[in-house]
Structure 1
Amino acid sequence: MNPTMTRSWTTVCTLDHLDPDRGVAALVDGVQVALFWTADGLFAIDNRDPVSGAYVLSRGIVGSRGGVPTLASPLHKQVYDLRSGDCLDLPGVAVARHDARCRNGLVEVRLRQEG
């Protein structure tokens, strides 16, 4: 098993550009990322739906399942855990998750990749 490699933090936008419980797509170091600001925090996942292959997850529906912050794909409604990227409906399916934080009012994302 290879350790997870991380890159440097990239400033994406100011926090006031994000609407609570609504997604926004951003290009971070050539990767389409879907950003979400929820009551549970900031989340960043790949914008690419692993089931359909379409870049649409930023348009998904934010919610929760059993206290877990989730995102439902806008295409086929598979639900993903925003904390881990795991699909709660299809075992073994997951979307890549990235680190997200807010510093001094700026939303920053750090891509994660298996190395």
Structure 2
Amino acid sequence: MSLSTLAASTAAHGSSPHCVRLCTRADLVAHSGVVAWHAGHQIAIFYLPGRPDAADDRSRQPEDAADRSRQPEDAAGDCLYAVDNRDPFSGANVIGRGIIGELQGERVVASPLYKQHFRLRDGVCLEDPEQRLQTWPVALRGDDVVLLEADTRS
């Protein structure tokens, strides 16, 4: 699996003040992870091009309908996920080097060190639900991968 450390986040030209550019589509590696730096965090970005994420669709319950707006899929079926790069079990920044797969009907990334599986949609560890990775909402905007930040204005 490839790992690309990308330049610090900068605001994308012409985008909403609440979208922060993390990298470009060209920086992404299909079915793999890259790592970007934003606000003191290493963020592992996983890119699954050209198909809906069926694992997440099957696992959703009706009460998850409000969360459906956070589904990381665009019109072309490309899926993006962004999670903390720091493995909570080892303390190492390695999640971006993890292997993407499906386990228990969930799209996951397996930590390359101790092999725990973290759900990409919410960061929860399947083996130890008390442990989780922080997640960020991300999207493709043209050729840019952007972090969707909440509006903090009053």
Same fold (TM over 0.5): yes
1:9 matched to 2:19? The reply is: yes
TM-score normalised by length of structure 2: 0.64
Higher relative contact order (CA 8 A, sep 6+): 1
Instruction: Look up the match of 1:63.
Output: 101
Identify which of 94, 97, 101 aligns with 2:139. 101
Specify the code of the residue in structure 2 equivalent to 1:30.
G
Q: Report the identity percentage.
A: 39
RMSD: 1.8
Instruction: Tell which structure's C-alpha radius of gyration is larger.
Output: 2
How far apart are the structure 1 equivalents of 2:19 and 2:123? 20
Shifted more, 80-89 versus 37-46: the winner is 37-46
Matches of 1:27 and 1:111, distance apart in 2: 15
1:67-86 equivalences in 2 (<5 Å): 67-86=105-124
Q: List gaps (5 residues or longer) in structure 2.
A: 1-16, 54-78
User: 1 or 2, which has the higher strand percentage?
Assistant: 1
- Unmatched 5+ stretches in structure 1: 1-6
Could you list the structure 1 runs, at least 4 aligned residues long, displaced by more than 4 angstroms after superposition.
none
Size of the aligned set, in residue pairs, is 106
Distance 1:105 1:12 in 2: 11
The question of 1:33 aligning with 2:43 is answered yes
Q: Report the CA distance between 1:58 and its aligned residue.
A: 0.4
The aligned residue for residue 29 of structure 2 is 19
Deviation at 1:67, TM superposition (A): 3.2
